[in-house]
Amino acid sequence: MTRRHPTDMSIRLLCALLLPFAGSAAVWPDNFGAFQRVAAKPAAVSNQKIWDELGLQNAETARYEAGKKQFSATAYRLQDTTAAFAAFEWQRPADAKPSPLAKVAAGTPDSLLLVHGNYLLSIQGYQPPAAELSAVVGQLPLVEQAPLPTLPDYLPSENLVPNSERYALGPAGLAAFDPGIPPSVAGFHFGAEAQIANYRGPGGEMRLAIFSYPTPQMAIQQYEAFGKLAGAMAKRSGPLIAVTLAPPNPDAAEHLLSLVRYQGAITLSERIPTRKDNIGDLVINAFELIGILLVFSTVSGLAFGGFRALFRRGSRGQEGDPMILLHLEDR
């Protein structure tokens, strides 16, 4: 049995006591442009299973006022950028239009929804200017920046129903967005993710789901299970499986599936320049080093000279330092 040091146990106990307070710390800043925060409370969420699947860590709604004007802002802090993107597609209003205020953003005349790192931000009753919004999101705590998922790039744009896209990270999301596909067939335990969307076609709308797996071998293994679903039409391309269930027009479905093509991409790691690569900083650092050496030399010389002077003053009346004779005439 391993014994724990008392100090380790104290640290663990302290962390456990402080964790609830850290999770409840204010998310929104005191000021939002000319607006002042007047209230803040935990945000109410619906469909807790999906939020849990997205790794919801904190949700806060704040109310801001400036004179007679007011608006509300809600921040959802999730486990990563992919989860924030999935929450964005889920929470986006059906009539929202793309917004230039962020890479992933959509808005209505009086609202804005956007992704910032692992945050989903919802602003109701106000459309903030870009500079104002940038200043606010720069103050958000515990922001984790990571690349957005690439799976949505494989959705065909032809006949896509606007704002019908949904991103599923597990069984709860799949049951809500495409309930005809069992989670056991999707194979989320392999690390699968799914991008789902609706398309217009002859005979009515059809739903397309694209599942992404870590390797093509996993996709091959699951492809047979998709083919056994009643009314399913499926296609595999690399680590992707595209499937539509009971389409109203099989020919239109076949055309839609043909548009899903996996293209492998090679990412080269790029060296990120640092301050050491700036010649200006190099020159400044060189002068700083020279200054430090000059100061050190001056102080050392003065200290040594002062010590010698004090030593000689204390040695008055005594013979001075003996002279060293080389006796070169004897050689």
The per-residue b/e assignment along 33-61, b for 16 or more CB within 10 angstroms, e otherwise, is eebebeebeebeeeeeebbebbbbebbbb
pLDDT at 26: 81
- Measured in residues, the chain has a length of 331
- Indicate whether 125 belongs to any domain: yes
83 shares its domain with 169? no
Least-confidence region, from 8-12, 248-252, 317-321: 8-12
- Residue 269 confidence (pLDDT): 53
Q: Is residue 240 part of a domain?
A: yes
Domain contains 331? no
pLDDT confidence tier of residue 238, bands split at 50, 70 and 90: very high
One domain for residues 99 and 128: yes
> pLDDT band for position 282 (50/70/90)?
confident
Asked whether the predicted pLDDT for residue 68 surpasses 60, the reply is: yes
Q: Are residues 131 and 37 both part of a single domain?
A: yes
The confidence band for 25, taking pLDDT boundaries of 50, 70 and 90, is low
Same domain, 60 and 121: yes
CATH number at residue 34: 3.30.200
When comparing pLDDT for 210 and 271, which is higher? 210
Question: Which of 258, 274, 306 is where one domain is finished?
Answer: 258
Please tell me the predicted confidence (pLDDT) of residue 14: 44
Same structural domain for residues 119 and 158? no
Position 318 pLDDT exceeds 80: no
Q: Is residue 39 part of a domain?
A: yes
Within a domain: residue 315?
A: no
Q: How many domains does the chain have?
A: 2
Q: Which of 258, 288, 317 is the last residue of a domain?
A: 258
Q: Is 119 found in the same domain as 213?
A: no
Would the pLDDT of 3 be above 50? Answer: no
Of 35-44, 95-104, 315-324, the poorest mean pLDDT is in 315-324
Query: Which of 120-129, 279-288, 317-326 is the least confident region?
Result: 317-326
pLDDT at 149 (0 to 100): 96
Task: Judge if 160 and 249 occupy the same domain.
Answer: yes
pLDDT band at 88 (very low <50, low <70, confident <90, very high): very high
The predicted-structure confidence for 138-181, as pLDDT tens digits, reads as follows: 999 999 999 999 999 999 999 999 999 999 999 999 999 999 99
User: Is the whole model's pTM more than 0.85, yes or no?
Assistant: no
Q: Is the pLDDT of residue 257 over 50?
A: yes
**Is the pLDDT confidence value at 305 over 50?**
yes
Q: Examine the domain organization and report whether 131 and 96 are in the same domain.
A: yes
Query: What pLDDT sits at residue 294?
Result: 87
Asked, for residue 321, whether it belongs to a domain, the answer is no
Examine the fold and report which residue of 137, 167, 201 is the final residue of a domain before the chain moves on: 137
Question: Does 132 lie in the same domain as 179?
Answer: no
Neighbours of 198 (CB within 10 A): 17
Would you state the pLDDT for residue 18? 42
Q: Do 75 and 124 share a domain, yes or no?
A: yes
* Residue 85 reports pLDDT greater than 60: yes
Mean confidence (pLDDT) of the chain: 87
In a domain, 322, yes or no: no
> Is 104 domain-assigned?
yes
Per residue in 37-65, pLDDT tens?
999 999 999 999 999 999 999 999 999 99
Give residue 96's domain range: 25-137
- Residues 108 and 132 grouped into a single domain: yes
Q: Do 34 and 121 belong together in one domain?
A: yes
